[in-house]
Structure 1
């Protein structure tokens, strides 16, 4: 056992249940000394830093929260998971696969981003504003049926009367970091991501901060499946400052 965690970013974007399942069974990842964590893609960065402080051998697989939840429900050998939506944690609890009570760890904010070109922040945001800045292009966001950032984004678009107008212009992705990448590469003129994602990239500008009351509360939920996973979540809960520095929001 090493004195610092060996955090493996096993896949840049985890796509589909089969990939997550395959990663979980890679040689070395399933050893008795390994603490296996499945985590929402938006946590990549600060969660790696926290894992590096563990005395255990921590392996983190990042992906979409919906994919992670479905994989856990099928028996994936994870010690803990951190997902970005209470609906998915409730779904797992209802299936009786989570032995310990879920715990809310942190929050986030939703923002609209554009490629980094010195874009000035918008003074308001409505369907006309979005349509004008898209100029016929696509709006990148997580899948609205499964990815938490996409679920929150749909709620906001609904609240400003833009969902029906823009639904045909969406570029929906498997996780929020993929939506960020589309904007950073100039493949989509706008995207809706978490503030922490935007802060992690120098290739995008934040043009609008979505009001927190325009969508359901953003909550990152820790789910422990083993005692080792519970211990790791205890460590995460003590590292609020690291996540706040990365753009997350501390809970009261």
Structure 2
């Protein structure tokens, strides 16, 4: 056996030992299903994680699928290959736990948000007092208020709760433009197709073409919470690694930058 051949064998053995000693396959993909309102923040969290050699030495690749929490929850329940699910409310997480479609013992509440009323930047309206005396019909005119569909979308459900609490639901109900998710409602206001929209404060913060004209009292709706869970009870090391990173100080600093409130876990 030549010295060169021995050297190659030694190199091969070293590579095999490194692979065997690692709990994670290099470049392994982790698929995360997440609420649409998390798109910007989670994309940055994912990019930061990928670029961090200490947090991600084996080059795990987080891949995101963003949509309404309800749509994603149904897909998970039907066996979609998500490895992590992050919802915009507790209701759809409860649904998946009841369906035994996720690893319930990994469930944690990661973030909180608030609900606001927005208008296009070009609107003359600067402030709305949210009481039962607000004349929505007059304010909206021939148009509609953009919201996530209250029958399916968490942001829409919070909007309905808030409007009911304030005595405005019956007036507002026939005037709603129901979007498939909260970002869809935001787009309608950005384009000027709706004079008002009800979205999360974090959505209003990232949008350059809208302004916040009112904030709904926290007491007018259920707490806007974002629960996190791993789907498989026998999660891979890669899945567990990114799940833990989402709860890290580095990730939470990014969430705070985008206007979310982080919770102690």
Using structure 2 for the length normalisation, give the TM-score.
0.79
- Match for residue 49 of structure 1? 44
- Number of aligned residues: 222
For the 8 Å contact 2:136–2:171, the answer to whether it is kept is no
Tell me if structure 1 keeps the 8 A contact 2:130–2:216: no
Match of 2:20 in 1: none
The Cα offsets for residues 22-65 of structure 1, whole Å up to 9 and x where unpaired, read as: xxxxxxxxxx8211111100001111111113331111010000
> Of 210, 213, 230, which aligns to 1:207?
213
User: How large is the RMSD of aligned CA atoms in angstroms?
Assistant: 1.7
> What does 1:91-170 correspond to in 2, within 5 Å?
91-101=95-105, 102-117=107-122, 119-126=125-132, 128-170=134-176
Q: Provide the C-alpha distance between the structure 1 equivalents of 2:130 and 2:151, rounded to a whole number of angstroms.
A: 27
**Are 1:65 and 2:69 matched, yes or no?**
yes
Distance 2:221 2:93 in 1: 18
Aligned with 1:111: secondary structure? strand
Q: Deviations over 1:116-173 (max 9, x none)?
A: 1264222444353433321231011111121110010000010111111221111111
Give SS of 1:45's match: helix
Say which SS state the counterpart of residue 193 (structure 2) adopts. Answer: coil
Show structure 2 runs of 5+ residues with no match: 1-26, 50-55
Q: 8 Å contact 2:97–2:104 — kept in the other structure?
A: no
How has the CA–CA distance of structure 1 residues 131 and 97 changed in structure 2, closer, same or farther, with 3 Å as cutoff? same
Give the unaligned 5+ runs of structure 1.
1-31
Distance 1:230 1:133, change over 3 A: farther
Structure 1 runs of 4+ off > 4 angstroms?
Answer: none
Question: 1:119 and 1:244 mapped to 2: Cα distance?
Answer: 28
Q: 1:181 aligns with which of 171, 178, 187?
A: 187
Query: C-alpha separation between the residues in 1 aligned to 2:257 and 2:101?
Result: 33
For 1:183 and 1:126, how far apart are their aligned partners in 2?
23
Q: Distance in 2 between matches of 1:189 and 1:125?
A: 18
